[in-house]
């Protein structure tokens, strides 16, 4: 039986009932967070917790027990017997249940807290093997730094990519490449790593941050600068990053073959270093 966390309680998932007046349902008024469990620990849970707290502040949701997230996350792993597996936890926090009106509930109501875990199974993309991505105008809002549950633009864009046979949709805003519908993107030009700087046009990925650290440790120069779409022709390598798929090499962007159509050396070095970091944490 799958056990999930709902407003302070551990319950069988199919017994959980969320109100039709929940502002998450009515307005997508909430944030979410995703962490990966590696047979014994959540990778960089401090950064995930910090991003979640920042998101709550930005959208002004007050959740006094916010620091309990890593604690019930561990408990969910145990209760679902996933300790020896790889798994993902999804946390959803909404502004709570109140009659529908645009202003915040007054008096304030408790936020709705829901979290579930699922065993991580590879998406069919073999780690270290390459994927093809599609470019598309960034149709999202101007606060992509908030991990909002309002993912409609991401979903429509990802679905379009999926239907056209691509593994991810990469957004372009004002001629600049920002990020993917569910990942950050890095480029390698002459051995230097490029990725979009933190801004309101990208989500500050926890994996992105760790890749920048790993690159520094490996002596690879990294520049947080956006790449203009028109410069794509000069790139030697590309890869996307996120919590679940870690470092995934990109071997084609639209019709453009990246490098020689194989994951490049800098990408593979970073991929291997990331994995080595996980193994080291396992101790």
Name the one range near ligand PDD by CB under 6 A: 54-62, 157-165, 176-184, 264-272.
Answer: 176-184
CB of 57 to ligand PDD, least distance (A): 18
* 208 near ligand PDD (CB under 6 A): yes
- The SS3 of residue 179 is strand
The least CB distance from residue 161 to ligand PDD, in Å, is: 13
Please give the Cα distance from 100 to 194 (Å, whole number).
Answer: 44
Site for ligand PDD in 17-46 (CB under 6 A): 34
Q: DSSP class of residue 42?
A: B
Per-residue tokens: 146 = 């908030």
Q: Kindly state the smallest distance separating residue 205's Cβ from ligand PDD, in Å.
A: 3
**The one segment of 9-17, 19-27, 61-69, 202-210 that binds ligand PDD by CB under 6 A:** 202-210
Q: How far is the CB of 34 from ligand PDD (least distance, A)?
A: 5
* 207 touches ligand PDD (CB under 6 A): yes
Does 147 participate in catalysis according to the annotation?
A: yes
Q: Residues 30, 130, 205, 226: which binds ligand PDD (CB under 6 A)?
A: 205
Nearest of 43, 49, 119, 37 to residue 74 by alpha carbon: 37
Per CB under 6 A, the segment of 126-134, 187-195, 205-213, 228-236 that binds ligand PDD is 205-213
Instruction: Supply the angle between the helices 206-217 and 45-59 in degrees, to the nearest 10.
Output: 140
Contact between 158 and 275 under an 8 Å Cβ cutoff? The reply is: no
d(CA 185, CA 267): 12
Q: In the bound complex, what is the minimum distance in angstroms from residue 36's beta carbon to ligand PDD? A: 8
Residues 118-137: x/- map of binding to ligand PDD (CB under 6 A)?
A: --------------------
Q: Which two tokens stand for residue 192?
A: 């230097």
Q: How far, CA to CA in Å, does 159 sit from each of 78, 119, 164, 165, 269?
A: 34, 23, 8, 10, 31
Q: Are 58 and 38 in contact (CB under 8 A)?
A: no
Give the integer Cα–Cα distance in Å for 257 and 260.
Answer: 7
CB atoms within 10 A of CB 96: 24
- DSSP 3-state assignment of 271? helix
Binding mask 234-273 for ligand PDD (x = CB under 6 A): -------xxxx-----------------------------
Q: Which residues lie closer than 8 Å to 279 by C-beta, 6 or more apart? A: none
- Does position 183 interact with ligand PDD (CB under 6 A)? The reply is yes
CB of 240 to ligand PDD, least distance (A): 9
Catalytic residue from among 36, 132, 136, 147:
147
Near ligand PDD by CB under 6 A: residue from 22, 138, 168, 179: 179
- Where do contacts with ligand PDD occur on this chain (CB under 6 A)? 34, 179, 182-184, 203, 205-208, 241-244
Residues with a catalytic annotation lie at 147
């Amino acid at each position: 039986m799958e056990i999930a966390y709902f407003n302070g309680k551990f319950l069988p998932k199919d017994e959980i009932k969320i109100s039709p007046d929940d502002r998450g349902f009515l307005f997508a008024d909430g944030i979410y967070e995703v962490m990966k469990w590696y047979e014994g620990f959540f990778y960089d849970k401090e950064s995930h917790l910090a991003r979640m707290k920042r998101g709550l502040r930005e959208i002004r949701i007050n959740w006094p027990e916010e620091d309990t997230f890593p604690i019930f996350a561990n408990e969910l792993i145990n209760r679902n017997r996933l300790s020896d597996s790889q798994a993902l936890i999804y946390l959803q926090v909404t502004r709570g249940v109140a009659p529908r009106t645009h202003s915040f509930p007054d008096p304030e109501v408790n936020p709705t807290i829901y979290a579930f875990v699922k065993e991580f199974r590879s998406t069919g993309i073999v780690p270290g093997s390459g994927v093809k991505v599609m470019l598309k105008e960034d149709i999202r809002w101007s606060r992509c730094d908030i991990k909002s549950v309002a993912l409609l633009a991401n979903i429509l864009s990802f679905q379009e990519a999926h239907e056209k046979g691509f593994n991810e949709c990469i957004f372009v805003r004002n001629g600049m490449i920002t990020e993917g519908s569910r990942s950050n993107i890095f480029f390698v030009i002459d051995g230097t790593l490029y990725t979009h700087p933190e801004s309101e046009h990208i989500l500050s990925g926890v994996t992105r941050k760790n890749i920048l650290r790993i690159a520094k440790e490996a002596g690879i120069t990294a520049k947080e600068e956006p790449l203009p779409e028109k410069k794509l022709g000069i790139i030697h390598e590309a890869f996307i990053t996120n919590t679940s798929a870690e470092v995934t090499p990109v071997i084609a962007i639209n019709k453009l073959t990246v490098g020689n159509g194989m994951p490049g050396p800098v990408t593979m070095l970073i991929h291997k270093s990331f994995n080595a970091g996980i193994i080291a944490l396992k101790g």
